[in-house]
């Protein structure tokens, strides 16, 4: 009898253990069979002090995704649908606001809905000293022991910061501060780097602008005259489809001549198709030996009426690129232009305002470009080891996710060298 009881106990224990989920690891996401369910969100669930432009990211084995985004804890507003990227940029957020979002994953007819995540944006900064944000960092090393870091500094309103010096930064290796004097820390500004600005000027020429073509042409010509030496422009018109009037060039005379080909088009507006064409015209490059940053300026007096390209396709093409939108008149859709305008949306009431808005955008582009810094120093680290590098702006009142940049470098190739002039 005792043997029978023991036998049943053993069977029960085996059944209990085999029924348990031993493959699930809450720290690494769902078990393999549920990898279709979106997980590992960015910003992390519950994140605070986020910027007003946020790139939502997630992981999943799905191949298409719907993203819902709302101020309600049960988000019902569809942000994008059937996108293939596992990320989407959200712009135009409000200060000190909690946002909720979820992702629906799809693959081979199977649909999985993820949990609802949330994050909160930062409070409105003071006009002076609001804080600094460090972006787009690239870390490279060179012999004998140089650590080189390319990055960008903007304020909390995403405006470029251009006047920082070596004394404004703190550098840490493996959590310990380096000596600025012993490390020969220095800052090299963009003017001494290989840097190019690519600018796509996309101008609506649909028939609704029949009375405004000349004024738009004059405003665009003024924009071109204000180009800086390292800036190249590609000029487009669009109505039925985007038409390249002039490929990238820094020659102002060639560009102004090309404006003569900006003429009245067709009674349709392929806005989304124009955005896709323009966004695919350049590739951003953030390397220490080569930095190329692109911008697109889109002017329109209406909404997309053609329907050959979707808003989702336009947003996917933009991804993390910087786009400025200018909308003229009452037929535009401000909410749509705000989504497309990752760098800013400008609503104008007449063609007389276009010139000043283009000038304002050009100022933003140049300032943004001048906010790149190359920080270089000599590291004392030796041996084939990885090290954690952290860079901060001193006394930064902003303490959120982007208040510092962090990365790693390997000191395996480093060696000591005497200073020039020493025997």
pLDDT band at 368 (very low <50, low <70, confident <90, very high): confident
**Token pair in block for residue 130:** 């609001």
- The pLDDT value given to residue 31: 52
- The pLDDT value given to residue 124: 64
pLDDT band at 11 (very low <50, low <70, confident <90, very high): very low
pLDDT band at 127 (very low <50, low <70, confident <90, very high): very low
- The pLDDT value given to residue 268: 94
What backbone torsions phi and psi does residue 393 show, to the nearest 5 degrees?
A: -90, 130
Distances (CA, A) of 279 to 15, 126, 205, 362: 57, 34, 19, 18
Q: Is residue 2 packed enough to be buried (19+ CB in 10 Å), middle (13-18) or exposed (0-12)? A: exposed
**Token pair in block for residue 159:** 């405006």
pLDDT at residue 187 greater than cutoff 60 = yes
pLDDT band at 142 (very low <50, low <70, confident <90, very high): very high
- The pLDDT value given to residue 28: 44
Residues 370 and 362: beta-carbon distance below 8 Å: no
Distances (CA, A) of 337 to 174, 297, 319, 325, 334: 44, 11, 15, 6, 5
- What average pLDDT score do residues 175-202 get? 86
- Please compute Rg for the chain using Cα positions: 26
- The pLDDT value given to residue 6: 43
| 258-262, 286-290, 399-403: which is most confident | 258-262
pLDDT in tens, 55-114: 899 999 999 999 999 999 999 999 888 888 898 888 778 888 999 999 999 999 999 999
End-to-end CA distance of the chain: 93
pTM of the model: 0.73
Q: What is the mean pLDDT of the chain?
A: 87
pLDDT at residue 23 greater than cutoff 80 = no
Question: Could you identify the residue written with the tokens 């004097």?
Answer: 181
- Asked which of 301-305, 397-401, 410-414 is least confident by mean pLDDT, the reply is 397-401
Find all residues with CB under 8 Å of 275, minimum gap 6, and list them.
202, 296, 298, 314, 317, 318, 323, 340
pLDDT at residue 193 greater than cutoff 70 = no
Q: How many CB atoms lie within 10 A of CB 32?
A: 9
- The pLDDT value given to residue 22: 37
- The pLDDT value given to residue 156: 82
Q: Domains in the chain, ordered, with CATH?
A: 32-121 (2.60.40.10), 195-369 (3.40.50.410)
- Asked which of 13-22, 256-265, 354-363 is least confident by mean pLDDT, the reply is 13-22
Distances (CA, A) of 365 to 80, 132, 216: 28, 18, 20
What distance in Å separates the CA atoms of residue 409 and residue 411, rounded to the nearest whole number? 7
Question: Could you identify the residue written with the tokens 């860079």?
Answer: 391
**Token pair in block for residue 271:** 């806005």
Measuring CA to CA, which residue among 139, 148, 131, 230 is closest to residue 187?
Answer: 148
Q: Which residues of 359-380 are buried (b: 16+ CB within 10 A; e: fewer)?
A: eebbebbbebbbbbbbbbbbbe
pLDDT at residue 274 greater than cutoff 90 = yes
For 333, the 3-state DSSP assignment is coil
**Token pair in block for residue 240:** 């039925």
Q: How many CB atoms lie within 10 A of CB 23?
A: 10
pLDDT band at 421 (very low <50, low <70, confident <90, very high): very low
- What average pLDDT score do residues 373-396 get? 94
pLDDT in tens, 340-351: 998 899 999 899
Specify the DSSP element, H or E, that contains 128.
none
């Amino acid at each position: 009898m005792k043997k029978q009881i023991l036998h049943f106990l053993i069977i029960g224990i085996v059944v209990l253990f085999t029924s348990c989920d031993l493959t699930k690891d809450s720290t690494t996401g769902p078990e393999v069979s549920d990898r279709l369910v979106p997980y590992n969100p960015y910003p992390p669930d519950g994140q605070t002090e986020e910027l007003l432009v946020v790139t939502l990211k997630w992981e999943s084995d799905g191949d298409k995704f719907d993203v819902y985004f709302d101020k309600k804890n049960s988000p019902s507003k569809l942000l994008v649908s059937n996108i293939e990227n596992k990320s989407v940029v959200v712009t135009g957020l409000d200060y000190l606001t909690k946002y909720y979002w979820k992702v629906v994953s799809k693959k081979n007819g199977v649909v999985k809905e993820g949990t609802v995540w949330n994050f909160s944006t930062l409070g409105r900064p003071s006009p002076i000293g609001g804080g600094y944000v460090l972006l787009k960092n690239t870390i490279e090393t060179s012999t004998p022991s140089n650590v080189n870091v390319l990055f960008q500094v903007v304020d909390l309103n995403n405006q470029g910061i251009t006047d920082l010096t070596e004394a404004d930064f703190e550098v840490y290796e493996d959590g310990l501060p380096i000596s600025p004097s012993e490390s020969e820390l220095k800052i090299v500004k963009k003017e001494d780097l290989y840097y190019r600005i690519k600018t796509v000027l996309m101008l609506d020429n649909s028939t609704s602008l029949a009375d405004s073509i000349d004024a738009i042409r004059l405003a665009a010509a003024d924009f071109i005259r204000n180009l800086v030496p390292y800036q190249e422009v590609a000029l487009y018109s669009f109505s039925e489809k985007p038409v390249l009037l002039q490929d990238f060039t820094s020659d102002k005379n060639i560009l102004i001549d090309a404006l003569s080909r900006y003429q009245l088009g067709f009674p349709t507006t392929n806005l989304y198709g124009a955005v896709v064409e323009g966004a695919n015209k350049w590739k951003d490059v953030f390397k220490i030996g080569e930095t190329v940053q692109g911008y697109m300026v889109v002017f329109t007096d209406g909404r997309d009426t053609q329907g050959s390209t979707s808003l989702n396709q336009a947003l996917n093409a933009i991804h993390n690129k910087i786009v400025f939108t200018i909308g003229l008149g009452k037929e535009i859709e401000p909410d749509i232009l705000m989504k497309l305008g990752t760098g800013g949306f400008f609503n104008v009431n007449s063609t007389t305002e276009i010139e000043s808005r283009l000038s304002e955008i050009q100022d933003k582009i140049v300032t943004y470009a001048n906010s790149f810094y190359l920080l270089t120093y000599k590291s004392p680290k030796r041996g084939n080891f990885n090290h954690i590098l952290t860079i901060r702006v001193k006394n930064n009142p902003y303490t959120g996710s982007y208040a510092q940049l962090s990365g790693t470098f390997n000191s395996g190739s480093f060696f000591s060298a005497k200073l020039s002039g020493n025997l």
